[in-house]
Amino acid sequence: MKTGTWYVCGFVVAFIYFYVYAVNYVRGEPALSGYNPGVPPWPTSGQEPRAQSRIQQAIHPKLSWQYHNYTSMTTFLRHVSTIYSNLTALYSIGQSVQGRELWVMVVSRSPYEHMIGKPNVKYVANMHGNEAVGRELMLHFILDLVQNYETDYYVRWLLDNTRIHIMPSMNPDGFEVASEGTCQGGQGRYNSRGFDLNRNFPDYFKQNNKRSQPETEAVKEWIGKIQFVLSGNIHGGAMVASYPFDNTPNSIFSSVVSAPSLTPDDDVFKHLAATYSLNHGRMYLGEPCKVGAPKFENGTTNGAAWYPLTGAMQDYNYIWHGCMEITLELSCCKYPPAAELTKFWEDNRISLLQFVGEAHKGVKGFVKDDSGISIEGASMKVKGRDVGFQTTKEGEFWRILLPGIYTMEVFAEGFQPREVQFAVIEQNPTLLNITLYGDNTNRVDLQVQPSNIDEEEQPLEEEEEEDQGSTIFGLPNPLTSIQNSMRSILNKIPVFG
């Protein structure tokens, strides 16, 4: 080959290399890396973390271990969203009574818009303004996520596959008048009009006649726009993970004795509460804050069994929107001295991360018509569990479930209702793609399989149905495909250990 030809070939190769390098650099990814975010490796001894991008090496947002008022919190959030614009998006869902923004920070590899197949998870803190620990932990949680994206493989996996919405303060007006060191009582619990925001939501069991507040209305509208799969409502004044229902139909006896008020998804809620508690530094011990009070088994409790209340946010999330929310009480003292914040962070960090990961367990998929068009607003319900949920405008759905065999009921206007049997196993969600047909069609198209595909920023594609050799009620047996995929699934999602 002529010398000139070699020069041309070398020039082309060099150009391609530097072009790919430049594109990956702009995206904030390693140049020419074979890293697969769908199967994140767990760090091994001696493994070097990936280098951070130049801008993150040069400018690290700082956050002191002290309480931050509204102005300081806003400055911090804006700074993080500027420095880590590839991982965060700051938005407000509305304003408090006194005009303070109700900030929410999205932390994700796709922060600016919903990416098909990625569940939305949220944390809401400082609903009671004088319960301040959660507010500060959320700020540190945001910083921890963005600064560890390049070096912590579990954090990277979460952000690559989840959109995490963090509201540090639902009651910024109350926080401004609360006082550090006040463990019980004091100002700041209520909003500036004197309303308890955790008694201000519509209630399933009783009529709630309390006038809805701006903060409550903003949250209701927010939940109505984004289909959240999982949520944690962070409080203080106890150390326990509490799950729905908070209220009870037995109103006559509730003032005399508290009894459990269980949801149709009680097994899932107990699992979610235990996931947080058992990964916590102290909560799992179940020690009560008040002398003489009974212990909480495994650091968890049913809300109504602890004490019933009307208008709770976690019940509203579950009944009205199908979002599985639990209440996380993180400190016996509602507003402890700032010197104790580092200990609270150490106790809660792993729990906060592990809880978000639970959104990826159970079943997920799409509902479409026979021409492949997504069906928005299809009503779905797991048979035997009377609280339902709906598909997104892209036809997506998620439902957290424990391992077992289930039947999904699907209803949509203009289509035949369907019942689809499927199985859920540990670790990965089952991918369930359902095709609905019009009233004049008798066909059913069902695809069910454990999810074993990369969840990049793109729609999940339906796989071709395989001959599975046996049927259930005339439909393909989901257990066959699950058994065939078992080996490849077990190491898909990283766990702490």
What is residue 185's predicted lDDT score, i.e. its pLDDT? 87
Q: Kindly tell me if the per-residue pLDDT of 405 is higher than 50.
A: yes
Same domain, residue pair 312 and 325: yes
Q: Does the structure show a pLDDT above 50 at 480?
A: no
Quick one: 194 and 324 in the same domain? yes
User: What is the CATH classification number for the domain harbouring 464?
Assistant: 2.60.40.1120
Report the distance separating Cα 295 and Cα 305, nearest Å: 13
The reply to whether 355 and 399 lie within a common domain is no
Catalytic residue among 150, 176, 329, 358: 329
pLDDT in tens, 66-122: 999 999 999 999 999 999 999 999 999 999 999 999 999 999 999 999 889 999 999
- Quickly state the pLDDT bin for 11 (edges 50, 70, 90): low
pLDDT band at residue 6 using 50, 70 and 90 as cut-offs: low
Question: What pLDDT does residue 472 have?
Answer: 35
pLDDT at position 434 is: 97
The pLDDT confidence band at residue 55, using thresholds 50, 70 and 90, is: very low
Which of 290-294, 412-416, 448-452, 469-473 has the lowest average pLDDT? 469-473
Pairing between β-strand 430-436 and β-strand 445-450 as defined by DSSP bridges? antiparallel
Cβ atoms 410, 436 nearer than 8 A: yes
Same domain membership, residue 124 and residue 19: no
Residues 269 and 321 in one domain: yes
List the one residue out of 428, 289, 68 whose CA is nearest residue 448.
Answer: 428
Does the pLDDT of residue 491 top 50, yes or no?
A: no
What amino acid is encoded at 193 in this protein? Answer: R
One domain for residues 337 and 396: no
The overall average pLDDT reported for the chain is 83
Tell me whether residue 345 is in a domain.
yes
What pLDDT is stored for residue 457 in this prediction? 37
What is d(CA 300, CA 262) in angstroms, rounded to the nearest whole number? Answer: 14
- Concerning whether 329 is annotated as a catalytic residue, the answer is yes
Instruction: Tell me the mean pLDDT in the region 270-279.
Output: 99
Residues of the chain with pLDDT > 70, as a percent, come to 75
pLDDT value at 223 more than 50: yes
- Where residue 360 falls among pLDDT bands split at 50, 70, 90? very high
pLDDT-based confidence at residue 25 (cuts at 50, 70, 90): very low
pTM: 0.80
Answer yes or no: do 101 and 247 share one domain: yes
- Residue 111 and residue 161 in one domain: yes
Q: Name the one residue in this structure whose structure tokens are 């035949």.
A: 416
Residues 6 or more apart whose Cβ sits within 8 Å of residue 93: 102, 104, 167, 218, 219, 221, 222
Task: Look at residue 40 and tell me if it is in a domain.
Answer: no
Residue type, 244: P
Residue 237 main-chain phi, psi, to 5 deg: 110, -5
Confirm whether 196 is domain-assigned.
yes
Where is average pLDDT lowest: 24-38, 221-235, 304-318? 24-38
Percent pLDDT > 90 in the chain is 71
Average pLDDT over residues 121-144: 99
Give the Cα separation of 21 and 269 in Å (integer): 46
Q: Are residues 355 and 367 in the same domain?
A: no
**What confidence category does residue 428 fall into, taking pLDDT thresholds of 50, 70 and 90?**
confident
In one-letter notation, the amino acid at residue 432 is L
pLDDT of residue 493: 44
Q: What is the pLDDT of residue 32?
A: 32
Residue 39 belongs to some domain of the structure:
no
Residue after which a domain boundary falls, among 316, 343, 360: 360
Which one has a higher pLDDT value, 375 or 258? 375
Domain count, the chain: 3
Average pLDDT over residues 430-444: 83
Indicate the residue among 360, 389, 407 that finishes a domain: 360
Q: How far is CA 189 from CA 196, 297, 316, in A?
A: 7, 28, 20
Tokens standing for residue 224: 């109505």
* Residue labelled with tokens 């046996």: 470
* Distance from C-alpha of 176 to C-alpha of 163, rounded to nearest angstrom: 29
pLDDT of residue 202: 98
Does 159 share its domain with 25?
no
Please report whether residue 47 resides in a domain: no
In this structure, the answer to whether residues 414 and 278 fall within a common structural domain is no
Write down the pLDDT at residue 250. Answer: 77
Closest CA to 267 of 400, 406, 387, 421: 400
Lowest-pLDDT choice from 241-245, 328-332, 453-457 = 453-457
Give yes or no for a contact between 435 and 415, defined as CB atoms under 8 angstroms apart: no
262 part of a folded domain: yes
Q: Are residues 341 and 192 in the same domain?
A: yes
Long-range contacts of 421-424 (CB under 8 A, 24+ apart): 421/472, 421/473, 421/475, 421/478, 422/363, 422/448, 422/478, 423/448, 423/478, 423/479, 423/482, 424/361, 424/362, 424/363
The pLDDT of residue 9 is 52
According to DSSP, the β-strands at 163-167 and 120-125 are parallel
Distance (Å, whole) CA 7 – CA 105: 51
Domain that holds residue 14: 1-34
Domain contains 206? yes
The answer to whether residue 328 is domain-embedded is yes
Assign 450 a pLDDT band (cuts: 50, 70, 90): low
